[in-house]
Amino acid sequence: MTRTATIPAIFFPAVHELAVFDGGGPRPQFLLDTEKLKVIVAGLEPGQQIPAHAETLAIYHFLAGEGVMTVDDEELAVTAGATVITPAGATRGMRATSRLTFLAAKTGMT
């Protein structure tokens, strides 16, 4: 088998602890930021939101808390353990109803 990895393995034993909560709004923390893939961990305080916006293919995995994620016109109740995969070009946004922590990974290509 040919090895094609261009970056070393990265290990986060407690990724949820890297989330930053700020009363001024989301402060995503990059776990990986390459041309082809971006991965962040983020925290939202209750009532905070990420406005709806179109984006590339992305995966959101919720680590803690509760909220509502909107994909196009569909509202999805999200809690710890939920995963949402959004297709390229879909409009997505998020609102926290409790302190919400999530991972997001998106392709770097539109």
DSSP annotation of 72? T
What is the secondary structure of 6-47 as a DSSP string?
A: -S-----TTGGGG----TTS---EEEEE-SSEEEEEEEE-TT
Contact between residue 56 and residue 107 where contact means Cβ atoms under 8 Å apart? yes
| Residue count (the chain) | 110
Q: In the chain, what are the domain boundaries?
A: 16-107
Cβ atoms within 10 A of the Cβ of 102, count?
28
Residue 54 has pLDDT above 90, yes or no: yes
Residue 108 has a pLDDT of 77
Tens-digit pLDDT profile for residues 1-35: 566 667 789 999 999 999 999 999 999 999 999 99
Residue with tokens 């406005």: 51
In CATH terms, is domain 16-107 a member of 1.10.3720.10? no
Q: Per-residue pLDDT tens for 63-107?
A: 999 999 999 999 999 999 999 999 999 999 999 999 999 999 998
Predicted pLDDT at 80: 97
pTM: 0.90
